[in-house]
Structures are given as C-alpha cells and as structure tokens.
Chain A
Amino acid sequence: MMANYAMAFDYKLCINCHACEVACKEENGIDLGAKNHRLWIDEDGETEGDFWNLARDKITFIQMQCQECQDAPCLKACPNGAIYIDDNGIVRLYKEKCDLTLACMKACPYDARYIDEKNAITDKCIFCADTRLARGETTTACQITCPAKLRYFGDLDDEESEISKILRERKHFTLKPELGTKPKLFYLE
C-alpha cells in the first residue's frame, strides 16, 4: 500500500492544550525531557500594552513538527545517506546509518529534529509510520486525539481524501515557502 501522506492544520482552532504532544510521546515511546519531542506548539505573538488596554489579536498557537519537505534539506545534508523518503512519502531515517553527525539538525529550517539519546539517532515526526501506519491504521496519534479537531491527515495522491478536498476548498500556506523545501504540512487560513 503506497500513499503520499500529508497533514493540514486548521491552526487557528488550537487551544494550546498539548494533547497532541502527550499522545505522540506515549504512542511512539518518546523520552521525557523538554527538548525531546517530535511535535510542539509554538505560541506566536505577544500581548501588547498594559493590562486594561491589552492588544491581543496577534496571539496564535502554531502546530510545529517535521514539515515533510519534498525537497528536504536534511536528506541532502546527511553525509551518510541515512535519510530517505519512504513509499508513503515520509522522510525517514536508516537508523543504522545514523552516527549523529547532526548535519540534518543543522540543515533543518524548521528545527524539527532532536537527539534521541536512547537510540543514538536524530529523531523527528514520521507520521507514526513505524507504529500506527505500520499496523495498517490511517490516523496519527496527534490527529485522532486533538480536542480542537484541527488536524487533517491523509493521502494527497487520493483526490477523494479529506485532506485533498480541504486543500482544494480552503486557502492555505506552508512555512518558509521562500526556501523552496516544498513542505507537505499545510496551514489552513
């Protein structure tokens, strides 16, 4: 079974509760520790002015994780050829080839990777590829648990998939498009 997996975020719905982060850690056995996470929520924007006159429209919560670049800087940067794109269009790692040069971490413009000390590799979101998808499920841990129901996960190559439809219907953007990395994570306006 092959697919071209992607994710879209109705990002303005986020309430910054971190259910996605916990679900991801439990599903994928991620170590505790503030720096260890495959996904996180970025609190963007600050309040301005004093308390009784607080300007606050700029505050947004942004879902952050590997952007699944189709032209992935990490893949190109790895001196060991440890990074590849799998049959489902997901940027993956040959664990045995990784010797922690950290070139991928430095190359990633989205800061999506961290060091997984337990396995001595650099790790990042892989859409639950070796857990849920490997079991034949078609959801990710973060998508299914989200209280705001803002995550759409699916196959871009299937025109009838919900994500394909929603990307046809709604305006969206990608992060740092100027870098030409062609992310497959889409933020819905």
Chain B
Amino acid sequence: MSVEVSRRKFLQGSVALSVAGASAISATNLFSSEHASNKHQPTDSRIPSTITTKTGTGEAVEVATLCEMCVNKCAALARVENGVITKLNPNPMFPKSKNMLCPRGNAGIQAAYDPDRLKYPMIRTGEKGKGQFKRVTWDEAYDAILNGTDKFPGLAKILEEEKDNRSSMLFCAGEGMAEHTFKQFYQAFGSSNWLNHASLCLQTVVSGYGVTLGGYPQSDLDNAEYIIMAGANRAEAIVTPDTMDCFKRTKGRGAKLVCVDPRFTNTAAKADKWLAIKPGTDLAFVLALTYVVFTEELYNKKYVANYFNGLEDYKNSVITNKYTPEWAEKITGIKAKDIYTIAREFMMHAPKAIYYPGRRSTFATNDFQLRRAQAIFQALGGGIDTKGGLIFGKKLKLGKHEGLEPLYARAEARAVSKKDHPKKGESGYDDCAIVSGGGSWIAWRNRYLEDRMPYKVRGMFCYKHNPMMNMPNTKKTAQMLKKMDLVVTIDTMPSDTVMYADVVLPECTYLERTDPVKTFGGVEPSIAVRNKVIDPLFETKPVRDILRGLTEKISKPLFEITKKYDEDVQDELEDSDEAEVYAEFDLTLPFEGTQEEVNHHMVASVYGEEAAHKLHKDGVFYPDMDKFYKKIGANEHQYYPEKEKAYSVRGGKPKTPSGKVECNIANLASKGVDPMPVWKDEYNFKVEEGKFRLLTGRHAQFTQSGTSNNSMLHDLIMTNFIWINQRVADKKGIKFGDMIEVSSKTGSTRLKAYPTEKIGPDTLFFIHGFGEESSELTWAYKNGGNDNAVIEDVVEPVYGAAAMHETNVEIRKV
C-alpha cells in the first residue's frame, strides 16, 4: 500500500478537534514579557525559564511517581536535572499502565510549572466571586478560617451560632490519591455533608454493576475475542490498561470490536464495526440483544443454572414486552439485522466476549437500568470472573493507619430531605431513590438554593474540585457559592471555583508531594506509590501539611465550642480529665507524621522492610516481582507469568451477597425503582423541530477543566469546537470556524463550528472542560465553550446523578 503524504501546514493534529492554521504561541520564554504581568517572573531558580527544557547529558536524578493528569494513575519516572523536572517517562514496572504515558501524562511538567499556579495563601478582599484577594501568610489564612475577617465569618462564629452542628460545613472533593487525606479531615471535623465526584461521574455504572454482579468489574480486553463498546470512547478517553489492550487486537488481530456511539469517534475509526445510535437509547439496544439471546436460547445454560437469580422473571419480561430487534430499530436507529448478528456473535464467542461496562458520567436518566441490563447480558454468556470476560481480579493487602472519627452530639445527620409521607413503592427522598456515599451533587446544590435544608449549612471546604465547571448549570453553582458564608478552597490552580473562595489554600501539584500508597487490583495486581519528585514550589504545600497546619490552629478553639453545647462531652468531662476527652476530638491526630512514614508502615507491616524500600525506589511492588517481571521486547514486559494471572478468583461466582446475578431486585421496587430493566416511552429520543440534543465528552488531550490551562496540551488543541452535522450546517450557512451560540433554558455559551458527517442531524457535540471564566488562567480564560453553562440540571432518579445528555438546545450563528 502507499500513503499520500500531505504537507505539514495542513496537518495540525486531529482535524476533528484542532484548528488548521491556529495562531501559535511563539514565545519561548513563558515567564517574561508578552505573556502576562509580573506574576510570571521567575524568582526561583528551580523554575525553568522556557516551557520545554531539553534534557541534558549530565547528572540527573530519577524519581518514581504516579501521574495525576487524569484519574488513571499511570506510573512515571521523572527525570530531574539541577532541581528542574525535564522529562516524564513511562515506568515500565507497573502492570496497569504497561510502560506508557499518554499526551497528558507527558505534559504533566507543565502542570508543575504553570505560571498561573496558586502560589501563596490568599483571603478575599473584594466582592465574592470577583476574584479579589490579598496575599497572606499560612498562619493568617488559618486564622481567617477560624476567626473570619470583616468580609466573612470564620468557623468559630459559624459553629457558635449553629450550636456545634458540625454538619453546618459541607466538604467536597474531586477524585485523587489525596482525596483520602482530605476525607480524614471531614471525618474528624464531624460533618455529615460529604459530596464528591461520584454523582457527576460513574455512580450509576458502579452501582448498576454493583447490585447486579456484586462489584464493578474490570475487562480482560487482552484476551476477549468479541467486544461491544457502547457509549465509551477508549481511543480518546484513555484508560489503562484498557486502551492499550483493546486497540492492538482489533481489525483482524484477534478481537472484533463493535463500537456503538452517536458520534464517529476515534474508537469508531479503530473498531471493526461502528453503529450509530440515537442518544440515550442504549438500553433498548441491550434489551433487544437480550431478547435474541432468550428466544434463540443462546445463553450459557450451565452458568445461568448455577449463578442466576430471577432469570425466569427477566426472561418473561423481555419476551412479553416484545423487545425485538425490529422494535429496537425504531428506537435506536440500529438496524434489526445488526442486532441479531451481534447477539449471536457475542454469544458464540462468550465467555471470551465483553459488553464493556465503561466508566463515564451518567448520560441518560435510564443509565442505572442500562448498566443492569449490560451486566445481565454479559452474565448470560458466562463471561464473569473468567479469562477474556469481565474479571474481579486480586487486590494486594495494605497495612492500616489511624484515623479519627469523633462523635459530636450536636452534629445533624446528612442534609437530605426525606419525604414526609412516602407512598408505598416510592422513594423516601425528595431527589432520588438511594442516597449514596458520595451524595447527589446537583440535588444537594439545588435543595440548598431553594432553602429545602433540614438545618443551616453555612460554609464549605472544597478540595481539588471545581463545581463551577464540573456540574450542569453553572449559574446555580455560582449562586450556591455566593450564598455560602465561608468558602475555603484547596487547589493548585485559580479555577472558576477558586474565584468564589473566601480563603484560598494553595496546594502543590502531584509532582511535589508524596500521596497515600495505593493498591491496584486486577488480573495483575500491584501496589504503587506517588513519590515527591521535587520540593513544593512557591509557598505551596501538600494537602496533608495544609490540614496539619489548619487543624493545629482550629482544633482546640472548636473543642471549646463543643464543650459548650455537646451534652455528651459535658458528661464525659464530669468523670474524666479534659486532656483525655480532648484526645478523642484532637483534629490534628490524622495528620501526625509524614506521608512517607505512613506509607512505609503500611507496606512494611505486611510485606517487610525491604518491600517498602523497593516500592519507594521503583514506584511499584508486588510479591515475586523479582522473579516474574521481565522485559520481553522493546514494547512488552511480563508482569506475571500466565499461570499466575488472577483471571478467575471465585470460579465465576458473582460477588453479590447471594452469590448470584440479580435480575429481579425486589428491594429496588420498594424504593420506587424498576426491579428489572425495562424500556419506558419517556426514554425515547425526542428533539423538537429546530432544536438539537447536546452531547458532551472527552478526548485524549485534555482531562476536563483540570488540564484546561496546560500550555503543552493547549498547543495541541487550541480550543473546543462544536460538531454539527455537515448538511445541517450547509442549510444554515454555517462554515468551519464560524462562531456559534448554543443556548438552553439554563444558559448559553459560544464556540466555533466544526461541520462534519461524523455526527447526526439532530445532535451536537463539544468537549467538556473549556470556556472557563477565571481571568487568572492565561490559556483557559474564555477559551471555547462551557458545556455546563448550557446543560440542564436533570437529576437521574436512582442515585441522583447528573444526567448530562438530556438537554435540547438551540443554536445561532453570531
């Protein structure tokens, strides 16, 4: 074959996403002249003067770390020369990421040396949300959190006025290895209000698989012969090892990949078959696959006999509801004959066949039922806990370390509002059927705005989390932040959320801190650690040190308030010495000692001293690593010999309490949730004339708003574009690069057009994470469109997750 080579000038990366002829950043020196103000002048010799630093041939130190450019935690080896990180290389020893770093992982250096980073503690001086702060010392910042300023009240005043109701402070966090550290602060503080990314992320998929199979499984894409990847985009939303394992085996190399997506993604391009589908109708597709399997008796009879509960009920439901491929064709747009073929092919290859669970946000309100239907379909082929199917894998143990969870008598329970008189078969809560550990972010926010709280919530601590960008309806989030008396943010960047803070505590980036050691389960289990590569820059600190300093400041004064209001503590003090009682309420306890010491103990206590040292040095450890790990080619390593791999750890038995796949869950019915996956008319894809369904998603070069200001990634993808069907664009006179305003009931945003046939005529798409409003972000400020300014806050009914693909929008050329 031959390949036409076009000229470099026309080859600016992926045509789909980047701009041809985009203006380049020509400056070689980021920290001077044209780029911005004096804030970018380097004063520290440890900060490089140029964006990229050519690696040298002299002395260098190599430090094993884990990436934090997304949630994957791939292993990296950082090269440090004269105190400057000059390169991040993949660490070949980690079975999860198998010697690779993606573009974001490679660009991690720019997260550390981002000139816009938060550099020192700040407190608000101007109007809330205007981003007017003054630089203060750490002690002054801690003092402002405790005692407030003339602009905002501190914790002492709030807890005094709320009579020691610790739940009057909300704690929220984004995903990360140090989320655990922050959560220890939440637990010690004694609040019941915890919100994390789960309801904006993978709550429904984890729970759907959880209640059906007893766990959220991994996929053995390395050995599967047939893969259905629906609503997941592994070529662009990179997940290790899935992305690596999947695409090396498609197109005649051992596995057939069927991609189902309302967009023609890179995954579609790399798949053996792509099926366009109407958004939000995947459940009908799975039900029809299941129908074929039931009516043609294609399922694994032995597996089903051993490990299914409620099979007959489900079979009856699917058959009597006539979920035929012909029925599904009308709903999904996928041809009936394709559905027959896929169901048959899947079961022919099962158990080495995978309906890929995915790990994305909730898109449609039926997502929980979709995931249940997927899990049951998968199990019908017997591909559970087995090579080439979904696997539970093995997890290596870690030692324990001390936490602190004092009981405060006056701390109210979580601020969910229960219905006064729920009818039988109805959810007991206002917003959703089940309240999960991570809570429902948008339901909580909306309840707070509408004064539907059982008590007053006065303030919040926000760690590595950007509610202004990460959840639907940005306007409401801004109102919530304004309404809070005290907002404390711990972050690395001046994000849109940080702009609404009263106190800003600057954390160092992942390359400047050691995080809690983590065990990674799977077919090839291991333990890995994020070691500090360089000392924190500026006045930043790891969150652990921040919380140590803060708790040293607030612990005793807040205990005085507890003494005043807490009857239990008062009783205890009558019989015991105050020091003894205080020890249970000493907030500093979880942060004693260094992270390195804690990690060492957690590993050495189980695997011995040598293992702990090895882990620190190599970044990765597992028993018998010396024996098993070897290089077997330029691009391949052995981590475990085949016979040592944990493909099957329970002989195929699901992890549910019953040990069976649960098809029909009565307990769900009692909460007003369908006990079995069924289709409802309200799930049908509907768009009014002249409107479009808005889709959002990810790609390989950015991780949501967290990387939006990364200079290197910005250089690859200058901005986000809105995908609009070519024929529709032609009719509307919209050309590539035209500015488009997208609007809904929620609000509007503007970005440039990318007409293409890779998207259907009634849908639009653009990448999440762009269009930030913080003027402190050189590259991200007002760059492209913000999806959450437009997406409506539709609450998924089971777990209260944000349903991201339920918004119809209008567009106009501006």
Contact = CB atoms under 8 A, between A and B. Distances in A.
Nearest to B48: A29
A23 B52 contact: no
B814 interface: no
A144 B18 CA distance: 25
B579 interface: no
Contact of A34 (B50, B701, B715): B715
A182 interface: no
A148 B244 contact: yes
B440 interface: no
B251 A12 contact: yes
Contacts of B26: 31-33, 117
A114 B13 contact: no
A131 B247 contact: no
B716 A21 contact: yes
Given A17-B102, A17-B700, A19-B103, A44 B727 contact: no
B54 interface: yes
Contacts, number: 211
Interface residues on A, range: 35 or more
Contacts of A143: 634-635
A73 to B, nearest CB: 14
Interface stretch (B87-95, B362-370, B524-532, B601-609): B87-95
B633 interface: yes
B248 A149 contact: yes
B109 interface: yes
A136 to B, nearest CB: 9
Given A29-B50, A62-B3, A111-B7, A13 B247 contact: yes
Contact of A50 (B50, B51, B243, B727): B727
A51 B760 contact: yes
A27 interface: yes
A168 interface: no
Contact of A25 (B700, B701, B712): B712
Nearest to A151: B635
Nearest to A153: B634
B52 A29 contact: yes
Interface residues of B, number: 79
A110 interface: yes
B712 A32 contact: yes
Contact of B90 (A60, A144, A162): A144
A99 interface: no
Given A51-B725, A144-B99, A189-B1, A15 B700 contact: yes
Interface in A27-65: 27-36, 40-44, 47, 49-52, 54, 56, 59-60, 62, 64
B474 to A, nearest CB: 29
A60 B87 CA distance: 30
A69 to B, nearest CB: 13
B2 interface: yes
Given A18-B700, A56-B264, A51 B6 contact: no
A16 B634 contact: no
Interface string B102-113: 110111010000
B3 A56 contact: no
A110 B715 contact: no
B771 to A, nearest CB: 21
B266 A16 contact: yes
Given A16-B266, A19-B101, A22-B106, A64 B11 contact: yes
Contacts of A30: 52
B100 A26 contact: no
Given A111-B7, A143-B634, 13 more contacts: A15-B243, A18-B700, A23-B101, A28-B52, A32-B712, A49-B757, A51-B264, A111-B8, A117-B26, A145-B105, A147-B240, A147-B243, A152-B635
Interface of B: 1-9, 11-15, 18, 21-22, 24-26, 28, 50-57, 86-90, 98-103, 105-107, 109, 235-236, 238, 240, 243-244, 247-248, 251, 264, 266, 268-270, 274, 276, 333, 633-636, 700-701, 711-713, 715-716, 725, 727, 757-761
